[in-house]
Amino acid sequence: MLMEPLNCKNSQLTNTHLRTKLAYKDLPLSIMCDQTFLAITFGSCDNCSQNKPLMNIYLQNEPVNYCSLCVEKMACHGLGKGESVSSLKAEAESLKVKLEQERAKLHDAELNQVAEKVEALGGFTLKSRRTLKGHSNKVLCMDWCSDKRRIVSSSQDGKVIVWDAFTTNKEHGVTMPCTWVLACAYAPSGCVIACGGLDNKCSVYPLSLDKSENLAAKRKPVAVHTNYLSSCSFTNSDMQILTASGDGTCALWDVESGQLLQSFHGHSADVLSLDLSPSETGNTFVSGGCDKKANVWDMRSGQNIQSFDNHESDINAVRYYPSGDAFATASDDATCRLYDLRADREVAVYSKESIIFGASSVDFSLSGRLLFAGYNDYTVNIWDVLKGTRTAILYGHENRVSKVRVSPDGTAFCSASWDSTLRVWA
């Protein structure tokens, strides 16, 4: 038995103070006038089996002798008795292999094989019908209003503009307190917009019929992250908003109070995009990020309920299929992929050897038969979702396409680009 004196100059130092100082509240302490002794046993650690000074602690009311390193590991990683970081990693890998084996059992056919008998799409022509000019730098994001006419866009120039897509007129404009406004969104009512970027915040602006009104004075910060805001989306009401951030998290906020309602932790790198389930009763959303993963979340519990990691590079965009049973992703690996949530697996890859630039954004047609994808080679590619073939390429932008969104009525879609313009196609 070794006796190690702890120097206590103040003889009135309380037991609580000593426990705090030692940081192990279950250690046996003996207070003796102005000298306190901590009894340390030297022997074999019950966890790592190495001969070290031991600490007597209790796990589920059972006394065990752990060395200080194992106690620290247990505190940091939540290790139980007989566990180690390496054993948990090995267990996680084995579970991952089993999961892939179960998924493989359901892999009886590819989507394009099942769709062989489906009639091929006939030829169709989409043209650029409107060009929206007004930003002085890269357009980074855009969203349609529920009235099928108005569009909100955000840019590297720090401006957020509300457009009339029919007339190409600007209805509202606001200058944000930062450049690189990476995210913007319309509320379901069409009376509020949200935006944010390098200010790490998501701010909302109420809109009115007075086009000369100073929107900047009505700015209301709602969400605050510890890194840049990459994406935002209102839920089925104007009262709640989902945000994604470069801090690796997503969060659900109350718009009125600015209170954090739920946070979502599961990505190991920046989250770049999110999309809410299209079902009115749906309580899930999907997110994608720089860790090459697409995660599906339950908004009520905050739990990551499904995860997919088939991409070989950053996932720049995620988008639900109109039915809510699947979602698509766009990645820097130059592919778009379709995941079926019921089968819990990837069911299609949209790629060609001639496509070597990353995909930045995706959206489905209203029927779900077409997939629109914006690429860094300045084009928009249109894919047949069922057959996996490319049906058209749209040219017009002079820099990378940052966002594509189909209008709520499905009659047109809008593309935003780093060439500082937006184009409406129909």
The answer to whether residue 108 sits within a structural domain is no
62 vs 42: CA distance, rounded Å: 19
DSSP state of 107: -
Do 78 and 195 sit in the same domain of this protein? no
Give the whole-number percent of the chain exceeding pLDDT 70. Answer: 86
Question: Which strand (E) or helix (H) includes residue 75?
Answer: helix 68-77
143 vs 88: CA distance, rounded Å: 43
Do 142 and 64 sit in the same domain of this protein? no
Do 255 and 340 sit in the same domain of this protein? yes
Q: How confident is the model over 140-148, as a mean pLDDT?
A: 97
Looking at per-residue confidence, does 109 or 149 come out higher?
Answer: 149
**Residue 2: per-residue pLDDT:** 39
CA distance readout (Å), 213 to 87, 126, 132, 184, 258: 62, 37, 22, 20, 24
Looking at per-residue confidence, does 165 or 113 come out higher?
Answer: 165
User: Residues 184, 193: contact at Cβ < 8 Å?
Assistant: yes
198 vs 179: CA distance, rounded Å: 7
Mention every residue, 6+ apart, whose C-beta is less than 8 A from residue 400. Answer: 357, 360, 374, 375, 376, 377, 378, 417, 418
Do 225 and 345 sit in the same domain of this protein? yes
Is it the case that residue 7 has pLDDT exceeding 50? Answer: no
**Residue 258: per-residue pLDDT:** 96
**Residue 102: per-residue pLDDT:** 82
Looking at per-residue confidence, does 51 or 205 come out higher?
Answer: 205
CA distance readout (Å), 186 to 147, 162, 239, 408: 11, 10, 12, 12
**Residue 171: per-residue pLDDT:** 94
DSSP state of 123: P
Cross-strand partners of 130: 424
- Give the global pTM: 0.78
Q: How confident is the model over 164-181, as a mean pLDDT?
A: 95
Q: How confident is the model over 303-327, as a mean pLDDT?
A: 96
373 vs 362: CA distance, rounded Å: 4
For the chain, what is the mean pLDDT? 86
Do 252 and 388 sit in the same domain of this protein? yes
pLDDT of 318-346, one tens digit each? Answer: 999 999 999 999 999 999 999 999 989 89
181 vs 202: CA distance, rounded Å: 10
Do 273 and 387 sit in the same domain of this protein? yes
**Residue 30: per-residue pLDDT:** 34
Looking at per-residue confidence, does 242 or 107 come out higher?
Answer: 242
**Residue 220: per-residue pLDDT:** 95
User: Residues 244, 232: contact at Cβ < 8 Å?
Assistant: yes
**Residue 324: per-residue pLDDT:** 95
**Residue 281: per-residue pLDDT:** 64
Report which listed range, 1-5, 53-57, 143-147, is most confident: 143-147
Query: Where are any strands of DSSP class E within 45-158?
Result: 51-59, 62-67, 128-133, 139-144, 150-155
Looking at per-residue confidence, does 269 or 113 come out higher?
Answer: 269
C-alpha angle 87/89/95, rounded to 5°?
105
pLDDT of 17-65, one tens digit each? Answer: 333 333 333 333 333 333 333 345 678 888 888 888 877 666 665 677 8
pLDDT of 358-386, one tens digit each? Answer: 999 999 999 999 999 999 999 999 999 99
Do 71 and 155 sit in the same domain of this protein? no
**Residue 273: per-residue pLDDT:** 98
User: Rg of the chain over CA atoms, in angstroms?
Assistant: 28
Is it the case that residue 188 has pLDDT exceeding 80? Answer: yes
Under the banding of pLDDT at 50, 70 and 90, the label for residue 167 is: very high
For 50, the domain range is 2-85
The answer to whether residue 118 sits within a structural domain is no
The answer to whether residue 110 sits within a structural domain is no
Number of structural domains found in the chain: 2
Is it the case that residue 347 has pLDDT exceeding 70? Answer: yes
Domain finish residue from 85, 115, 135: 85
**Residue 34: per-residue pLDDT:** 35
Taken in order 324, 326, 329, 335, the sign of the CA dihedral is negative
388 vs 189: CA distance, rounded Å: 36
Do 57 and 185 sit in the same domain of this protein? no
Do 271 and 365 sit in the same domain of this protein? yes
Checking phi first, is residue 420 left (phi over 0); if not, alpha (psi -120 to 50) or beta? left
Looking at per-residue confidence, does 360 or 9 come out higher?
Answer: 360
The answer to whether residue 141 sits within a structural domain is yes
User: Residues 392, 382: contact at Cβ < 8 Å?
Assistant: yes
**Residue 54: per-residue pLDDT:** 79
The answer to whether residue 319 sits within a structural domain is yes
User: Residues 132, 142: contact at Cβ < 8 Å?
Assistant: no
CA distance readout (Å), 237 to 159, 160, 189: 25, 22, 8
Do 265 and 406 sit in the same domain of this protein? yes
Question: What's the CATH number where 148 sits?
Answer: 2.130.10.10
Is it the case that residue 108 has pLDDT exceeding 50? Answer: yes
Mention every residue, 6+ apart, whose C-beta is less than 8 A from residue 40. Answer: 1, 2, 3, 4, 53, 54, 55
Do 76 and 191 sit in the same domain of this protein? no
